[in-house]
Structure 1
Amino acid sequence: MNISLKPEHEQFIQAQIASGKFANADEVIDLAFKLLEKLDNEYIQWLEQTRQKVEVGLAQIERGEVIDGEVVIDRLREKLRKAREAQE
């Protein structure tokens, strides 16, 4: 497989090699793919966790276990107010 890189990507790879972190372009690209794979796996995990949370939330709604929207907004405003006070 032949891949054409944008000039800025080539410059980045050369800079990584020049920094001494990598011996050659293959090492840079190998790490880039490992990081991409890790990112993809983390996204898949996040997506599954989010789907599970939505299912739990929908089940709670069906059982009538809900909080009035105004109460939620008031609680969030109070948390925000406290966070601002803590920063001062």
Structure 2
Amino acid sequence: MATNRTTVNVSLTPELDAFLQSRVKSGRYQTTSEVVREALRLLERHERERDEAFQQLKAKLERGAAQAERGELLDGDEVFDELRDMIEESRRNKAVNQ
């Protein structure tokens, strides 16, 4: 099965070129094209994960704003007290498990 490919010319700094060549010399990749394709796959995954994390954060902020509009707010002192309790419990659990 033939794979359609496009040829692209890219300008690299000497440092990036040396890195590219070192990956091929390591034997992990047979060609510089393989290195670039792998790098682009990793970048694509990173971008997708970042976008998903952003969407999750946005949804949480929207839920929080809706709760605030309904008057479902927490007192700051209560929140800090709960956080302190959680931290102390975590420390106790670590001490017991050591």
Is 1:5 paired with 2:38? Answer: no
Q: Which runs of 5+ in 1 are unaligned?
A: none
Residue equivalent to 1:28: 35
Residue equivalent to 2:4: none
Q: Which runs of 5+ in 2 are unaligned?
A: 1-7
Is 1:56 paired with 2:60? Answer: no
Task: Name the TM-score, length of structure 1 as normaliser.
Answer: 0.86
What is the aligned-residue RMSD (CA, Å)? Answer: 1.5
Percent identical residues: 38
Task: Name the TM-score, length of structure 2 as normaliser.
Answer: 0.79
Compute the displacement of 1:61 (Å): 0.8
Q: Which has the larger radius of gyration?
A: 2
Q: How many residues are treated as equivalent by the alignment?
A: 88
